Chain A
Amino acid sequence: MSNENKEKDKLKRRIAGLEKTLQIVTGYSGRIEKNLRQLFEVVSDTMPVPMMISLKTGAILFFNGNAQKIFGYSEKEFRKIAASLLYENPDDRGIFLKTLEDKGEVRDFAVNLKKADGSVFPASLFSRQIVFEGQNCLLTVIHDLSELKQEEEKRLMLERQLRQTQKMEAIGTMAGGIAHDFNNILTVIFGKLELASMMLPGESKVVRYIADALAAARRAKAMTKQILAFCRKTEYARKPFHISTVVAEAYKMIASLTPSDIEVRLGIKAESAIILCDPTQIHQVMMNLCSNAHHALRDRGGVIEILLEEVRAGSQEKIMIPALKSGDYVRLTVRDNGPGIEKNIVDRVFDPFFTTKPSGEGTGMGLSIVRGILQAHGGAVSVDSEPGKGAAFHCWFPLVAQTEDLTESVMPQDTVERHRKNSVRG
């Protein structure tokens, strides 16, 4: 073989080697590219935030599962939609693009975005320019702020409630102190009036005046007693008992005192429920709530419903009634179909000395006392009302046990007797 042919052969082999090298390298690059694409898709679908890649023109080239989920578009719809239509105000995308152009990236761009169903949610956008599939694109990550906003609102509500509670405690402490001192003064007034009365002849006009003064002093004493009850200075004689029995007794008394144009209904769905409480306090709660219901129905007649049921307080109830702990409760509801409570005062109805009744008809202490009693028993009271749709007051008493669970050692004697009789009958 001539030298020329040898050189030609050598070159041919070199070219063939280079061609094969090219095949090996492109095959290798293809595998790497495929692996990187898979990695990107796995990462984007694993991260718990919506993200998408779009062109500046608005065409969406890529979106992850969370983006699809949050906006509610099908894969086909998402590929067709223009990015600007994902904004509540499509002009916001222009501002977003301008920010990106000026700063090279966007961080925490607050905006309202729109879902497929038209609903709007607050979001914060984070974006950077990237090259994707050979084109200059924007990679945008969406931080949904809906939950944060809700949390913020919940926090503000709790703060308001805390401030209200602190205010009530301060009022309670002050009122309790005044009532205590006032009681001492009343004791002297009672003593001196009674002494004066004893020293006068029975037919004396002055005796009548003194009797009037004593009656007024008694009213004052009753009022201080209520204030002290609100301040929880009174010790309650707590014992486990069937709340249904006490509610039924109180219902009888309330029904007998109610005018005929107001119907009082009783529904007991928690016959065996046992709570730890002072039964007289249950009477007081029912009397105070029914007295308000009477007042609401005074000129129009209507229905008062008293309902007793066992309920479980979960996270939802805790949000509505922060004072409530999770657990089982007996809920006593007093509902009327009166005019309801105006929205602007519904938050204040449990405040002491707050009343909508005309001067001289109410002390404004009834609902405060109800709340004080419930708080003292580890429960809570809440109100549901809308103007024109009546009002319902719910009293939540912690459930101690049901009849079947109650042992004789903790059961009061009368309850044990009743239980035995029921068992024999059953």
Chain B
Amino acid sequence: MNIKEERYSIVYENNVIKISGKLSIMPEGYERIESFFKEIVGSGPAELVLDIRNLEYLNSSGIKALCIGLILEVETKEGLWLNIRCSKQHRWQLETVPTFKDLIENLNIVFE
């Protein structure tokens, strides 16, 4: 299942979750996105990549959805590592993504 809307898209393919566009929906809108993340993690991938290089903006509810729906879920799967590919072009990523390291240990963050 992929999610494609006018302002953003979330595509899962070959163990890569790719989020693009501007994601600033209301908190209740994230419920299906969190479910989507949990479904992916529950499918038992050997490794997981989150590619947000083209995610220009994410609001605070989106940060919460990423943390709870994806990152904390990864922690429940022993041996699973999450790699996050970020862009230095987006200031919010530079300021916020490094703090995700506080949540789990098996996390790699790469800025390109």
Contacts and interface: CB of A to CB of B under 8 A. Distances in A.
Nearest to A21: B67
A388 B92 CA distance: 76
Nearest to A10: B76
Contacts of B103: 17, 20-21, 24
Chain A residues touching B, majority SS: helix
B72 A29 contact: no
B67 A25 contact: yes
Interface string A1-39: 000000000100110011011011101110110000000
Interface in B39-81: 59-60, 63-64, 67-68, 72, 75-76
Range for the number of chain B residues in contact with chain A: 10 to 19
A24 B67 contact: yes
B36 interface: no
B100 interface: yes
Interface residues of A, number: 15
Contacts of B67: 17, 20-21, 24-25
Contacts, number: 44
A25 B63 contact: yes
A13 B75 CA distance: 9
A31 B95 contact: yes
Contacts of A18: 68, 72
Contact of A20 (B60, B96, B102): B102
Interface string B82-112: 0000000000100110011011100000000
Nearest to B97: A24
Contacts of B76: 10
Please indicate which of the listed interface residues A13, A25, A32 has the most CB atoms of chain B within 10 Å of its own CB.
A25
B5 to A, nearest CB: 21
A14 B104 CA distance: 11
A69 B94 CA distance: 40
Interface in A58-115: none
Nearest to A29: B60
A20 B95 CA distance: 16
A56 to B, nearest CB: 29
A44 B103 CA distance: 39
B63 A14 contact: no
A24 B68 contact: no
B107 to A, nearest CB: 12
A91 B99 CA distance: 55
Nearest to B96: A28
Interface in A121-167: none
Given A29-B60, A31-B95, A32-B60, A24 B72 contact: no
B96 A24 contact: yes
A14 B72 contact: yes
A17 B99 CA distance: 12
B64 A17 contact: no
A17 B60 contact: no
A87 to B, nearest CB: 40
Nearest to B59: A32
Contacts of B104: 17
B72 A27 contact: no
Contacts of B102: 20, 23-24
Contacts of B92: 28
26 contacts: A10-B76, A13-B75, A17-B68, A17-B104, A20-B103, A21-B64, A21-B68, A21-B103, A23-B99, A24-B63, A24-B67, A24-B96, A24-B99, A24-B100, A24-B102, A25-B60, A25-B63, A25-B67, A27-B99, A28-B60, A28-B92, A28-B95, A29-B60, A31-B95, A31-B96, A32-B59
Given A17-B75, A21-B68, A25-B64, 5 more contacts: A17-B72, A18-B72, A24-B102, A28-B63, A28-B95
Interface of B: 59-60, 63-64, 67-68, 72, 75-76, 92, 95-96, 99-100, 102-104
8 interchain residue pairs of minimum CB distance: A21-B67, A29-B60, A17-B72, A20-B102, A24-B99, A25-B64, A28-B63, A28-B60
